[in-house]
Amino acid sequence: MQNTWYGDHRDVVKWGTLVHLAQLEEIWTIVQVAFLRSAKPPPIDTDGVEVEIPKEVWKHFRDVDRIHDLECPLGLEIVLVDHVIDQDLFPQRRKQYIQQVADCLRNHADSKVVLLDPDTGIEPERATSKHVKITEIQEIWEALSSGDWLVIYQHAFRDKKWREKSRIKFAQACGTQDVKTFQAPKIASDVAYFAAKKE
């Protein structure tokens, strides 16, 4: 994901889904694997002259770390894996990132809901830094403990069956048929979240 997208309608659906699932399962830890990519704030054009958005304004509205504000009101621990990765430029850094995520999950003994949060979801034919690879889902799934949930963000693509196709890929990567789908078409019809529980 990019900080650019933090706080939009999709985030309301995302965190509504995660909190609902955590409360339903009586799990008190949510881990967001942000797949954070570097991005500069866009400039403001004023009569043909570009000016920068003040850093303080950008940080207030587009800071992924602000998700920690939900911890106290909801009684949750939110772990944010927010190292910046740019797979297209640094493939080795991407591998290290996935290894760090797996290590973090193995070292976190409590039951948890883990969100994989790339820009657009599961890789199509070829992965870019906007996707999560099938092999990465498998590696992270293996790092989970029994009772943990894995959730993935999926953005629509040009196929009427994008939900079904993505759900099948996710289920196959996790080695399970029992996958829940979460969506809120009235406010974010172009996204879905798939969730599977590791037994």
pLDDT in tens, 29-56: 999 998 876 667 788 888 888 888 887 7
User: How many Cα atoms within 13 Å fall on the side-chain side of residue 173?
Assistant: 24
pLDDT classification of 129: cutoffs 50, 70, 90:
confident
If one compares 143 and 123, the residue with the highest pLDDT of the two is: 143
- The whole-number average pLDDT for the span 24-32 is 95
CATH 3.40.50 is the classification of domain 3-197: yes
Do 32 and 83 form a contact (C-beta atoms < 8 A)? Answer: no
If one compares 101 and 47, the residue with the highest pLDDT of the two is: 101
If one compares 64 and 90, the residue with the highest pLDDT of the two is: 64
Question: What is residue 86's predicted lDDT score, i.e. its pLDDT?
Answer: 57
pLDDT in tens, 81-96: 866 665 554 567 788 8
Q: Is the pLDDT of residue 9 over 90?
A: no
For helices 134-143 and 162-174, the axis angle rounded to 10 degrees is 50
Q: Is the pLDDT of residue 102 over 60?
A: yes
- The whole-number average pLDDT for the span 10-18 is 91
Domain ranges for the chain: 3-197
Do 163 and 192 form a contact (C-beta atoms < 8 A)? Answer: yes
H helices of the chain, in order, are: 9-25, 55-62, 71-74, 91-107, 134-143, 162-174, 185-188
Task: Lowest mean pLDDT of 84-88, 99-103, 131-135, 145-149, name the range.
Answer: 84-88
What's the predicted TM-score (pTM) here? 0.85
The percentage of residues in the chain with a pLDDT greater than 90, rounded to a whole number, is 55
pLDDT in tens, 160-180: 999 999 999 999 999 999 999
